[in-house]
Amino acid sequence: MRQIILDTETTGLEAAAGHRVIEIGLVEMVNRRPTGRVFHRYLNPERPVDEAAQKVHGLTDQFLKDQPKFAAVAAEFLEFVAGAELLAHNAAFDMSFLEAELARLQPAPSPLSSLCKVVDTLKLAKQNHPGQRNSLDALCKRYGVDNSNRDLHGALLDARLLADVYLAMTGGQSSLGLDAAGSQKGSAGGAEVRRERREPVTVLVVEPTAEEWAEHKAACARIAKAAGGTALFTAFDP
Protein backbone atom coordinates (compact mmCIF):
# COMPACT_ATOMS: atom_id res chain seq x y z
CA MET A 1 0.00 0.00 0.00
CA ARG A 2 1.30 3.44 -0.96
CA GLN A 3 0.74 6.23 1.55
CA ILE A 4 1.66 9.90 1.39
CA ILE A 5 1.99 11.87 4.62
CA LEU A 6 0.98 15.45 3.91
CA ASP A 7 1.37 18.81 5.59
CA THR A 8 1.00 22.41 4.41
CA GLU A 9 1.73 25.88 5.70
CA THR A 10 -0.51 28.77 4.67
CA THR A 11 -0.86 32.55 4.73
CA GLY A 12 -3.76 32.34 7.17
CA LEU A 13 -6.46 30.13 8.61
CA GLU A 14 -9.25 30.13 6.00
CA ALA A 15 -9.02 29.10 2.36
CA ALA A 16 -12.50 30.53 1.83
CA ALA A 17 -11.17 33.98 2.78
CA GLY A 18 -8.58 33.84 0.01
CA HIS A 19 -5.62 32.56 2.01
CA ARG A 20 -3.09 30.49 0.08
CA VAL A 21 -0.68 27.59 0.45
CA ILE A 22 2.94 28.67 0.93
CA GLU A 23 4.63 25.33 1.70
CA ILE A 24 3.88 21.71 0.86
CA GLY A 25 5.65 18.73 2.43
CA LEU A 26 5.00 15.13 1.37
CA VAL A 27 6.66 11.92 2.59
CA GLU A 28 6.10 8.63 0.76
CA MET A 29 5.70 5.25 2.45
CA VAL A 30 5.04 1.89 0.80
CA ASN A 31 3.85 -0.97 3.00
CA ARG A 32 4.59 1.16 6.07
CA ARG A 33 8.22 1.72 5.02
CA PRO A 34 9.69 5.06 3.93
CA THR A 35 10.86 4.94 0.33
CA GLY A 36 13.14 7.95 0.61
CA ARG A 37 10.99 9.99 -1.79
CA VAL A 38 9.75 13.36 -0.61
CA PHE A 39 8.10 16.36 -2.24
CA HIS A 40 8.88 19.75 -0.72
CA ARG A 41 8.10 23.14 -2.20
CA TYR A 42 7.83 26.71 -0.96
CA LEU A 43 5.31 28.77 -2.92
CA ASN A 44 4.65 32.38 -3.80
CA PRO A 45 1.08 32.98 -2.54
CA GLU A 46 0.62 36.26 -4.45
CA ARG A 47 -0.67 37.87 -1.27
CA PRO A 48 0.72 38.87 2.14
CA VAL A 49 1.18 36.39 4.97
CA ASP A 50 -0.86 37.15 8.09
CA GLU A 51 1.27 38.22 11.02
CA ALA A 52 -0.19 35.51 13.26
CA ALA A 53 0.57 32.82 10.67
CA GLN A 54 4.13 34.06 10.22
CA LYS A 55 4.74 33.65 13.95
CA VAL A 56 3.78 29.97 13.57
CA HIS A 57 5.91 29.01 10.56
CA GLY A 58 8.38 31.90 10.19
CA LEU A 59 7.91 32.27 6.42
CA THR A 60 8.06 35.91 5.31
CA ASP A 61 6.73 37.77 2.29
CA GLN A 62 10.31 38.65 1.34
CA PHE A 63 11.34 34.99 1.24
CA LEU A 64 8.22 33.77 -0.57
CA LYS A 65 8.17 36.36 -3.36
CA ASP A 66 10.99 34.55 -5.19
CA GLN A 67 9.39 31.10 -4.91
CA PRO A 68 7.36 29.43 -7.71
CA LYS A 69 3.60 29.80 -7.86
CA PHE A 70 1.37 26.79 -7.21
CA ALA A 71 0.50 26.48 -10.90
CA ALA A 72 4.16 25.84 -11.68
CA VAL A 73 4.38 22.80 -9.39
CA ALA A 74 0.79 21.51 -9.63
CA ALA A 75 1.47 18.79 -12.21
CA GLU A 76 4.42 17.41 -10.23
CA PHE A 77 2.40 17.53 -7.02
CA LEU A 78 -0.55 15.65 -8.57
CA GLU A 79 1.75 13.02 -10.07
CA PHE A 80 3.36 12.45 -6.67
CA VAL A 81 0.06 11.89 -4.81
CA ALA A 82 -2.04 10.19 -7.50
CA GLY A 83 -3.54 6.89 -6.35
CA ALA A 84 -2.03 7.06 -2.86
CA GLU A 85 -3.70 7.20 0.52
CA LEU A 86 -3.18 10.72 1.88
CA LEU A 87 -2.59 11.10 5.63
CA ALA A 88 -2.86 14.53 7.22
CA HIS A 89 -3.37 15.84 10.74
CA ASN A 90 -6.64 17.78 10.68
CA ALA A 91 -6.98 16.80 7.04
CA ALA A 92 -9.96 19.09 6.39
CA PHE A 93 -7.69 22.12 6.82
CA ASP A 94 -5.00 20.98 4.36
CA MET A 95 -7.52 19.62 1.87
CA SER A 96 -9.55 22.83 1.80
CA PHE A 97 -6.45 24.82 0.85
CA LEU A 98 -5.18 22.34 -1.73
CA GLU A 99 -8.60 21.96 -3.36
CA ALA A 100 -8.84 25.75 -3.56
CA GLU A 101 -5.42 25.93 -5.22
CA LEU A 102 -6.38 23.26 -7.76
CA ALA A 103 -9.68 25.02 -8.50
CA ARG A 104 -7.74 28.16 -9.53
CA LEU A 105 -5.93 26.30 -12.30
CA GLN A 106 -7.06 26.61 -15.90
CA PRO A 107 -8.28 24.11 -16.79
CA ALA A 108 -9.01 22.88 -13.25
CA PRO A 109 -8.05 19.22 -12.67
CA SER A 110 -10.23 16.73 -10.82
CA PRO A 111 -10.62 17.37 -7.08
CA LEU A 112 -7.85 15.88 -5.00
CA SER A 113 -10.38 13.84 -3.00
CA SER A 114 -11.31 11.99 -6.22
CA LEU A 115 -7.68 11.05 -6.87
CA CYS A 116 -6.76 9.88 -3.37
CA LYS A 117 -8.28 8.38 -0.28
CA VAL A 118 -7.83 10.83 2.60
CA VAL A 119 -7.20 9.74 6.21
CA ASP A 120 -7.37 12.27 9.05
CA THR A 121 -4.82 11.26 11.68
CA LEU A 122 -6.34 13.75 14.14
CA LYS A 123 -9.62 11.81 14.07
CA LEU A 124 -7.66 8.59 14.51
CA ALA A 125 -5.82 10.06 17.50
CA LYS A 126 -9.08 11.21 19.10
CA GLN A 127 -10.49 7.70 18.74
CA ASN A 128 -7.39 6.23 20.38
CA HIS A 129 -7.07 8.90 23.08
CA PRO A 130 -10.50 10.42 23.77
CA GLY A 131 -10.50 13.48 26.00
CA GLN A 132 -6.74 14.00 25.69
CA ARG A 133 -4.62 16.55 23.83
CA ASN A 134 -3.96 15.23 20.34
CA SER A 135 -1.90 17.95 18.70
CA LEU A 136 1.17 16.78 16.80
CA ASP A 137 3.43 17.93 19.65
CA ALA A 138 1.28 16.10 22.22
CA LEU A 139 1.36 12.91 20.16
CA CYS A 140 5.12 13.14 19.69
CA LYS A 141 5.51 13.30 23.46
CA ARG A 142 3.05 10.43 24.00
CA TYR A 143 4.77 8.13 21.54
CA GLY A 144 8.37 9.14 22.22
CA VAL A 145 8.93 10.78 18.81
CA ASP A 146 11.77 13.32 18.96
CA ASN A 147 10.42 16.76 17.96
CA SER A 148 13.12 18.79 19.71
CA ASN A 149 13.99 20.63 16.49
CA ARG A 150 10.41 21.84 15.94
CA ASP A 151 10.84 25.44 17.08
CA LEU A 152 8.59 26.55 14.20
CA HIS A 153 6.09 24.62 12.11
CA GLY A 154 7.41 23.38 8.77
CA ALA A 155 5.53 21.29 6.22
CA LEU A 156 8.24 18.71 5.52
CA LEU A 157 9.38 18.50 9.14
CA ASP A 158 5.81 18.04 10.34
CA ALA A 159 5.07 15.42 7.67
CA ARG A 160 8.09 13.43 8.82
CA LEU A 161 7.05 13.68 12.47
CA LEU A 162 3.50 12.69 11.58
CA ALA A 163 4.81 9.62 9.74
CA ASP A 164 6.51 8.44 12.93
CA VAL A 165 3.45 9.22 15.04
CA TYR A 166 1.12 7.42 12.63
CA LEU A 167 3.26 4.27 12.64
CA ALA A 168 3.34 4.31 16.44
CA MET A 169 -0.44 4.79 16.69
CA THR A 170 -1.27 2.03 14.24
CA GLY A 171 1.43 -0.57 14.66
CA GLY A 172 3.53 0.02 17.75
CA GLN A 173 6.63 1.21 15.88
CA SER A 174 7.58 4.48 17.53
CA SER A 175 10.08 5.95 15.11
CA LEU A 176 11.65 5.59 11.69
CA GLY A 177 13.97 8.53 12.21
CA LEU A 178 12.35 10.75 9.56
CA ASP A 179 13.95 13.88 10.96
CA ALA A 180 14.31 17.13 9.06
CA ALA A 181 18.08 16.71 8.83
CA GLY A 182 17.72 13.36 7.05
CA SER A 183 19.39 12.90 3.70
CA GLN A 184 16.32 11.62 1.83
CA LYS A 185 16.23 12.31 -1.91
CA GLY A 186 13.48 14.41 -3.45
CA SER A 187 10.64 13.50 -5.74
CA ALA A 188 12.85 13.20 -8.82
CA GLY A 189 13.69 9.57 -7.96
CA GLY A 190 13.39 6.83 -5.38
CA ALA A 191 16.04 5.94 -2.85
CA GLU A 192 16.56 3.14 -0.41
CA VAL A 193 16.77 3.94 3.27
CA ARG A 194 20.35 3.52 4.39
CA ARG A 195 20.92 1.00 7.15
CA GLU A 196 24.20 0.33 8.91
CA ARG A 197 25.64 -3.16 8.52
CA ARG A 198 27.29 -4.43 11.66
CA GLU A 199 29.87 -7.17 11.97
CA PRO A 200 28.72 -10.43 13.64
CA VAL A 201 29.19 -10.41 17.39
CA THR A 202 30.95 -13.33 19.10
CA VAL A 203 29.03 -14.36 22.22
CA LEU A 204 31.15 -15.62 25.09
CA VAL A 205 29.45 -18.41 27.09
CA VAL A 206 30.77 -19.06 30.61
CA GLU A 207 29.66 -22.38 32.13
CA PRO A 208 28.95 -22.43 35.89
CA THR A 209 31.20 -24.45 38.17
CA ALA A 210 30.00 -27.53 40.04
CA GLU A 211 29.87 -25.45 43.21
CA GLU A 212 27.65 -22.85 41.50
CA TRP A 213 25.32 -25.56 40.19
CA ALA A 214 25.00 -26.92 43.73
CA GLU A 215 24.03 -23.48 45.03
CA HIS A 216 21.53 -23.17 42.17
CA LYS A 217 19.89 -26.50 43.05
CA ALA A 218 19.66 -25.55 46.70
CA ALA A 219 18.03 -22.23 45.85
CA CYS A 220 15.51 -23.95 43.55
CA ALA A 221 14.66 -26.43 46.31
CA ARG A 222 13.96 -23.58 48.76
CA ILE A 223 11.76 -21.80 46.20
CA ALA A 224 9.84 -25.00 45.38
CA LYS A 225 9.22 -25.72 49.08
CA ALA A 226 7.97 -22.18 49.73
CA ALA A 227 5.74 -22.17 46.63
CA GLY A 228 4.42 -25.69 47.08
CA GLY A 229 5.45 -26.67 43.54
CA THR A 230 8.45 -26.80 41.23
CA ALA A 231 10.83 -23.89 40.76
CA LEU A 232 10.88 -22.66 37.16
CA PHE A 233 14.66 -22.66 36.84
CA THR A 234 14.94 -26.31 37.92
CA ALA A 235 14.51 -27.12 34.23
CA PHE A 236 17.92 -25.61 33.55
CA ASP A 237 19.73 -28.08 35.78
CA PRO A 238 22.47 -30.03 33.91
Residue 75's identity, in one-letter code, is: A
Q: What DSSP designation does 106 have?
A: S
To the nearest 10°, the Cα dihedral for 17, 19, 24, 26?
-10
In the sheet with 85-88, reading across from the earlier edge strand, the strands are 33-42, 21-30, 2-10, 85-88, 117-120
**153 is an active site residue:** yes
* Among 36, 11, 77, residue whose Cα is nearest residue 163: 36
Buried/exposed 163-184: b ≥16 CB within 10 Å, e otherwise: bbbbbbbeeeeebbebbeebeb
Distance CA(119)–CA(86), nearest Å, equals 6
* Dihedral sign (CA 87, 93, 99, 102): negative
Q: What DSSP designation does 47 have?
A: S
Q: Which of 19, 57, 89, 153 is catalytic?
A: 153
Active site residue ranges: 153
